[in-house]
């Protein structure tokens, strides 16, 4: 028996309750997934972060209220799946671990990123135990000979020690996958494992950053030499823009790796921005579909696609700040950009959109990055720093964007009343982006969608 290796990832909404888990298990089994990567149940990662913050900053009673909420949610799913007491015990052990960690944070009044990662890891560890049960229920129903086996992903997904945004160590992961998962093509085990979390070489739990389960699945797909990576979520594929923002958004049947990468990087929550890197490196086609309605089809993300429209999709990235550095010393001198990039490199922060003039440089940052006070402090040492907050980055993603005359005219003609703070065009064939006030972002997307994509 030699089968295709399919790695499937199911997001939080696909893990919402027992019925959703069974529905998602049906999809995984129908698709013949060999490795299934799951997120925490919907809302749980947010609750775990709130628990960590409350434990650090508030009363223990308040922390216990959140702990109880998390317990009740998971025990209800266990009951609805009719789980045996010994399996419920493994959930209880995780609740105890969570309580001890939160208590530690509370007593020390200190929640480091390291502690936060361990606390967040409980979400995926709980959901994966429940999902293994759902898988075995469905396999039994179909009288399948396959068996779902729970795997602690931390045995294989090794990372560096940048807590909260750890980077995977690919060659180590490949070696561990080979040793732990064996010849996937030739056996009928299905591994159920956690997205989002990993472990350092010295055994500390890490996370890959919010929404990181997509990335985990892609890394595992690369490590096991998968033929296909499937991302199952709550919408039937990648749409022309976020359907929550624009009612005319419609699913795209095919999109190139390059376009989808730009879309993810510039704010489309449907994929974690790093997801496509392993897929591109290892030529793994990616399918995105709805676990709620798998029959509706979805989007294929691949290297070569049939059509290359000028504007394929649009993204809105909220909570952006525009940071402008100005200094007359930049005039006729060299090395200023080097100094800026060096400071960003020292703080391990990446710059997204950037423009320069003779004596100033402007770039966008996520609002949360402004919390890295040392970064701003270091920038202030070399220039005057001006910060504008509550902005949103609007991106048009497609093909040949930097070589098409009249595009900018058509865009800005559509939004003559909108104050545009910064424009980035030229560096990418696939992207045209600009900054607007955050509260006009959705309106701008809707108007541009109407003109460039329409509602056919």
Give the contact letters, 173-202, x = binds to ligand ASP (CB under 6 A), - = no. Answer: ----------------------xx------
Residue showing tokens 């691949």: 302
Pick the stretch among 39-47, 359-367, 379-387, 440-448 that binds ligand ASP (CB under 6 A).
39-47
Phi, psi dihedral angles at 36 (to 5 degrees): -120, 125
CB-nearer residue toward ligand ASP: 125 or 430: 125
Give the residues across from 365 on adjacent strands: 321
The answer to whether the beta carbons of residues 199 and 16 sit under 8 Å apart is: no
- When binding is defined by CB under 6 A, the residue of 5, 11, 200, 251 that contacts ligand ASP is 11
CB-nearer residue toward ligand ASP: 11 or 198: 11
Phi, psi dihedral angles at 381 (to 5 degrees): -70, -25
The answer to whether the beta carbons of residues 361 and 337 sit under 8 Å apart is: yes
- When binding is defined by CB under 6 A, the residue of 13, 14, 24, 39 that contacts ligand ASP is 39
Please give the residues from 217 up to 276 whose contact with ligand ADP meets the rule CB under 6 A: 233-235, 238-239, 241-244, 268-270
Instruction: Find the shortest distance in angstroms from Cβ 302 to ligand ADP.
Output: 17
Rule CB under 5 A: say whether 168 interacts with Mg ion: no
Rule CB under 5 A: say whether 16 interacts with Mg ion: no
The answer to whether the beta carbons of residues 330 and 359 sit under 8 Å apart is: yes
- When binding is defined by CB under 6 A, the residue of 11, 16, 273, 289 that contacts ligand ADP is 11
Q: How far apart are CA 225 and CA 430, in angstroms?
A: 29
Q: What does 195 interact with, of ligand ADP, Mg ion, ligand ASP, none (CB < 5 to 8 A by kind)? A: ligand ASP
Q: How far apart are CA 37 and CA 219, in angstroms?
A: 11
Please give the residues from 293 up to 352 whose contact with ligand ADP meets the rule CB under 6 A: 313
Number of residues that bind ligand ADP (CB under 6 A): 19
**168 DSSP 8-state letter:** B
In 3D space, the residue among 48, 42, 35 whose CA is nearest the CA of residue 11 turns out to be 42
Q: How far apart are CA 18 and CA 20, in angstroms?
A: 5
Residue 31 in tokens: 């698709």
Rule CB under 6 A: say whether 441 interacts with ligand ASP: no
- When binding is defined by CB under 6 A, the residue of 8, 24, 31, 39 that contacts ligand ADP is 39
Residue 64 in tokens: 């216990």
**Residues ≥6 apart with Cβ < 8 Å to 380:** none
Q: What does 235 interact with, of ligand ADP, ligand ASP, Mg ion, none (CB < 5 to 8 A by kind)? A: ligand ADP
The residue count of the chain comes to: 456
Q: Site residues (CB under 5 A) for Mg ion?
A: 11, 211
Q: Site residues (CB under 6 A) for ligand ASP?
A: 11-12, 39-40, 45, 123, 195-196, 210-213
């Amino acid at each position: 028996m030699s089968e295709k290796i399919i790695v499937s990832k199911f997001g939080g909404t696909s893990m919402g309750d027992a019925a959703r888990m069974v529905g998602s298990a049906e999809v995984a089994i129908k698709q013949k997934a060999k490795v299934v990567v799951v997120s925490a149940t919907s809302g749980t990662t947010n609750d775990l972060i709130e628990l960590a913050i409350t434990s650090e900053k508030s009363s223990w009673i308040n922390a216990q209220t959140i702990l109880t909420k998390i317990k009740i949610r998971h025990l209800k799913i266990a009951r609805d799946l009719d789980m045996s007491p010994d399996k419920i015990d493994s959930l209880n052990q995780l609740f105890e671990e969570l309580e001890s960690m939160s208590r530690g944070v509370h007593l020390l009044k200190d929640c480091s990123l390291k502690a936060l990662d361990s606390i967040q890891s409980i979400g995926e560890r709980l959901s994966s135990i429940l999902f293994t049960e759902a898988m075995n229920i469905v396999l039994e129903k179909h009288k399948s000979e396959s068996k779902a086996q729970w795997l602690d992903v931390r045995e294989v997904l090794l990372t560096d020690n940048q807590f909260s945004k750890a980077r995977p160590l690919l060659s180590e992961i490949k070696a561990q996958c080979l040793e732990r998962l064996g010849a996937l093509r030739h056996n009928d085990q299905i591994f159920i494992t956690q997205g989002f979390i990993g472990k350092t070489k010295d055994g500390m739990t890490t996370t890959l950053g919010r929404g990181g389960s997509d990335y985990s699945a892609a890394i595992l797909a690369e490590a096991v030499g998968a033929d296909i990576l499937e991302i199952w979520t709550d919408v039937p594929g990648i749409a022309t823009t976020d359907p929550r923002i624009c009612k005319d958004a419609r699913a795209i049947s095919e999109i190139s790796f390059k376009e989808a990468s730009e879309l993810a990087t510039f704010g489309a929550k449907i994929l974690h921005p790093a997801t496509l890197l392993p897929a591109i490196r290892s030529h793994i086609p990616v399918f995105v579909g709805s676990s709620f309605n798998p029959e509706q089809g979805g989007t294929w993300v691949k290297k070569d696609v049939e059509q290359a429209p000028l504007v394929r999709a649009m993204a809105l990235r909220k909570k952006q700040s525009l940071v402008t550095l100005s200094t007359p010393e930049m005039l006729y001198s060299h090395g200023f950009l080097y100094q800026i990039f060096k400071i960003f490199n020292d703080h391990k922060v990446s710059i997204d959109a950037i423009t320069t003039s003779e004596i100033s440089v402007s770039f966008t940052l996520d609002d949360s990055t402004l919390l890295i006070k040392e970064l701003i402090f270091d920038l202030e040492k070399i220039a005057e720093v001006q910060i504008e907050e509550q902005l949103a980055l609007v991106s048009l993603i497609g093909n040949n964007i930097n070589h098409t005359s009249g595009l900018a005219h058509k865009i800005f003609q559509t939004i003559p009343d909108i104050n545009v703070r910064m424009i980035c065009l030229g560096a990418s064939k696939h992207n045209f982006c600009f900054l607007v006030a955050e509260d006009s972002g959705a309106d701008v997307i809707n108007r541009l969608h109407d003109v460039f994509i329409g509602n056919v």
